[in-house]
Structures are given as C-alpha cells and as structure tokens.
Copies of this chain bind each other. A is one copy, B any other.
C-alpha cells in the first residue's frame, strides 16, 4: 500500500517521489502510509467546516530519531508537516494541508516513568489521557486534565491544544501540568525545555510556549508531567434554575464565598433535552438551566449542603445532592454526553468555546440566547460555568445554504460577544483553522507581530503546520 503511484491526488509526483524515497531511508516500512484510501482518514480532526487538504504521506514514527529524520527531510525538501495526535480536536488544528507529511505520534505511546516522590510522570506524546490517568491512579496519584475526549485523546494533542476539561475550575488546564518537554524542531534538532523539578526559572519559559502552540513550533516527543495526590471520590449536586441569570448568580455566589468545587458545570434546557433523548438520563426537562456542582474534599457532603443553600438563595427551584459516588458519576456521564447529544439535533454543529470573566457569565448566556433568536437557530449551551467557559453549540442543516450562513454568522457573533465582555475566543479548544481570523482580532496587531516573530524563530521556513493559528 505504499507505492508511489498511489499518490494520485497528492502534490506533483516528482516532489513526492523524492520525498518518499528520502523518508524511507530513515524509517521502517510500516511507519509510512501512502495509500490515499487510508491517508484520507488522517485528513482532519473533529471540527466542522474547516478546510483540509490531502496529505502526501502519513508517517507513524516510534522513536525520537525517526521524528528527527522526518523533520530533517521536510526541511531539506521544504515540505509542510502536520503533527497529529488522536484528531479529537475541535478547531481544525490537526487538519492536513495538500501535499503535507502527516506526522502522527500515536505509536509513541509509552509511559516511561511514574514517580510518587517527585509527583511526576514522563510520557511519550501518543499516550492516551485516560491510560495515563489509570496508570498513575495505581500509585495514589492523579493527572487532572480531563477533556471530554479523555478516553481517546493523546497527551501530545492535549499539550498542542492546551486542553481543559471538567476539572479546571479546581485543577486548572493542561498547561499547569507540563514541567518539561523534549521537542524535535523544524530542522530536526532536539530541544529539551524545562525541568523535572517542582520549581525552576532558568531563562525564558519555552515549555509554556509550546503548550497550546498547535504543532506550529516543534514536535513534542516527550513530556514531564506534574501529578497530584489522588483526591477523595467526588460527590455531585444538581440544581435546577428558572433562568440562566439565576444560575449565573448562584455560580458567582459560590465562587465569591470561597468555595473550591472540583466541578461546576451548566447545561441549558436544549442540552438537557438532547442528553435525555440520547441516553435516557432522566434529567429534569422543565428547568431552564441545570447546574452541577462537585466536591472531592474529605467533607464533600457538607460542602454540597453549603453550596445547595447558595443555589436556593439564588432562586434554584430544586436542589438534589447525590447520595453516592455512583449517582454522582451518572450526573457526570450525562454532562459528558452533552456535545454528542447536541450533535444529534441537526445534520451539523459548530461548537463555540468562549471564556468570559465569571462575573460576565450571565450576560454571556443571555446574549447567546438573543443571538439564537436573532438568527432563528437552535443553540444549545453547556458550560464549564465555574470558569466562565461556555460552549454554545450552533445546530444547523448543512444542506441548507441559508441556514449554514446563519450558523457561521451566529458562531462569529458569539465570539464577538465574548470579546466585548472581556473574554477570549477560546478557553480550551484552540484556534486552528476555525478561529484564525478571530485570533488576530483578540491579540491586536502588536501581539500578532510578536507571535509571528516567535514562529519565525522556531520555524524560519514555515513548514510546521502552516495555515493554522495565523
């Protein structure tokens, strides 16, 4: 399946021939895929409506040296490289460009070390998030970042997109867990950044620069990750609110009074109904906004009771604390199915990821409802509400050109609203292809100029994931 003449839809054959020959010189045969029926499946991540090209070849290296060989070859021949994890991203950051090398890191999937004393794990980029979580749990430890796709997404992808998840309101995002990296640069050289230590300030923080850089500065081949002691099991409460405004007031009251929930999530009525329809979850459908609050403290039941009172004071019509961990887990599962459930409502969805200051959450939710009304569309909202991070999901029929146009316009209007409220266009999904016009608007011209300068410093030929971010 790796015959050159399979590349019917790829770039000019001359260039491809040379490329494949050069790649083969430093890679085992099974590390290359050139069959277009197969390479096409590596073309895009899970974002809708993002351009994606046809790769010349997909490479699946197993060693750092193989990655270096790929990058040296790409530099020599000036071929673009698109690094990929599990392609669960939601911004098109892993989408192929025409004639590129797709560099999939999924076969580099070893957990190299777990140290309970140093509270670190050292991993290759292809390790699945949930596999790492399970492995460290055996040592009494936890790796908190838990994107919805945690059962399939990779640590390398998490680093590339600076993923978040449900845990962030207490435990923060991926960036806060990356201590050091080994990175293969555009020209194939190996860079080691950061540290294995708890602290360190030796020079500019290159580690953090790579986190969220969407494969545009280098290829992560090893990561030193911080771990935390495994907390007690989480107990979760569900509270029903008659309006988004009341739920937002409850969230502000919870955070202002010094609570530190391990989870503080919101689903609107559209989302609750979709979740029930998909999974028979039995969530209350009469509520306008369902709030889930969790605590993983030794005194979780007491914390839930205190937060329940704040919810009632803010106008909750019903407050139901789970009695058991199993019940709590069911509520979490319901929340985790929100995106797939909303995807069943129409033929297509566009998922926003606006994060606003917590104090502006009410305005963001009301403004989103107004946008849905204005454009005549269904927009279901689930939110990492404690962080002010909303995911308005625009549902539409992509066969209907007018509805598709309105979907894109409402998607943009939601980002504009987020910026107006002092927020950001992306809390955790990244920029990729989907939001690159918007990135410039958020950063401003000085910010863009400096970011481009950094890009040039790391990738002077512009071969790493071109066409993303900027």
Contact indicator B117/A255 (Cβ below 8 Å): yes
Find A203's partner among B260, B429, B443 (CB 8 Å cutoff): B443
> Across the interface, which residues of B come within 8 angstroms of A455, CB to CB?
204
| A431 with B203: CB separation less than 8 A | yes
Instruction: Annotate A398-430 by CB proximity to B: 1 below 8 A, 0 otherwise.
Output: 000000000000000000000000111111111
Q: A191-B446, A191-B447, A299-B298 are in contact. Are A424 and B197 (CB under 8 A)?
A: yes
* B388 engages A198 (CB within 8 Å): yes
B428 touching A115, Cβ below 8 Å: no
Q: Once the chains are docked, how many angstroms separate the CA of A294 from the CA of B116?
A: 20
Asked whether, in the complex, the Cβ of A185 is within 8 Å of the Cβ of B446, the reply is yes
A256 lies within 8 A of chain B by Cβ: yes
| Assembled-state Cα–Cα distance A213/B202 (Å) | 9
**Residue numbers in B under 8 Å from A256 (CB-CB):** 116-117
| Pair B450/A192 contact, Cβ less than 8 Å | no
- A457 contacts B by Cβ under 8 Å: yes
> Complex formed: what's the CA distance from A140 to B430 in Å?
33
Size bracket of the A interface: 35 or more
Minimum CB distance partner of A139 in chain B: B256
Chain B residue with the shortest CB-CB distance to A187: B446
CB distance from A173 to the nearest CB of B (A): 6
Interface stretch, picked from A127-135, A162-170, A233-241, is A162-170
Beta-carbon contacts of A309-327 to B below 8 Å, as 1s and 0s? Answer: 0000000000000000000
Contact B190 A446 (CB under 8 A): yes
The residues of B that contact A422 with a CB separation of less than 8 Å are 196-197
Q: Shortest CB–CB separation between residue A461 and chain B, in angstroms? A: 14
Q: Which one of B185, B195, B204, B355 contacts A200 once the chains associate, using CB atoms below 8 Å?
A: B355
A453 interface residue (CB < 8 Å to B)? yes
Specify which chain B residues have a CB less than 8 angstroms from the CB of A175 in the assembled complex. 201, 205
Measured between beta carbons, the chain B residues less than 8 angstroms from A115 are 357, 359
A281 to chain B, nearest CB (A): 26
Greatest chain B CB density within 10 A among A115, A173, A358, A430 is at A358
In the complex where A117-B255, A209-B209, A358-B118 touch, is A173 in contact with B202 (Cβ < 8 A)? no
A44 close to B (CB within 8 Å)? no
Given contacts A118-B358, A446-B185, A457-B454, contact A173 B190 (CB under 8 A): no
A212 within 8 A of B: yes
Q: Is the beta-carbon distance between B447 and A206 smaller than 8 angstroms?
A: yes
Is A259 interfacial (CB-CB < 8 Å)?
A: yes
Expressed in whole angstroms, the Cα–Cα distance for A469 and B203 within the complex equals 7
- Which A64-118 residues have C-beta < 8 A from chain B? 115-118
Interface residues of A in 25-81 (CB under 8 A from B): none
Bound form: Cα–Cα A418–B164 in Å:
34
Task: Confirm or deny: A439 has a beta carbon within 8 angstroms of a beta carbon on chain B.
Answer: yes
User: Is A252's beta carbon under 8 Å from chain B?
Assistant: yes
Residue of B nearest to A423 (CB): B197
Check B198–A169 contact: CB distance below 8 A: yes
CB distance from A414 to the nearest CB of B (A): 15
A176 contacts partner chain B, Cβ-Cβ < 8 Å: yes
**Are the C-beta atoms of B387 and A161 separated by less than 8 Å?**
no
Our pick among B252, B257, B447 for the contact of A193 (Cβ within 8 Å) is: B447
> Is A447 within 8 A of B117, CB to CB?
no
Give the residue among A169, A185, A384, A423 with the most B Cβ atoms within 10 A: A423
In A437-464, the 8 Å CB interface with B consists of 439, 442-444, 446-447, 450-451, 453-458
- A427 to B, closest residue via Cβ: B199
A387 pairs with B454, CB closer than 8 A: no
25 A/B residue pairs, CB under 8 Å, sorted by A: A117-B359, A118-B359, A140-B257, A190-B446, A193-B447, A196-B357, A197-B356, A197-B357, A197-B424, A199-B355, A199-B428, A201-B212, A201-B429, A201-B431, A203-B439, A203-B451, A204-B451, A204-B454, A205-B208, A208-B208, A209-B209, A229-B258, A230-B258, A450-B457, A454-B457
Given A162-B201, A168-B199, 19 more pairs with CB closer than 8 A: A116-B255, A116-B256, A118-B357, A173-B199, A191-B447, A192-B447, A197-B356, A197-B387, A197-B389, A197-B423, A199-B384, A200-B424, A201-B429, A204-B212, A205-B205, A205-B208, A205-B209, A206-B450, A453-B457
Task: List the 10 closest pairs (A to B, CB-CB), nearest first.
Answer: A453-B457, A229-B258, A198-B387, A200-B424, A208-B208, A199-B427, A162-B201, A117-B359, A116-B256, A201-B212
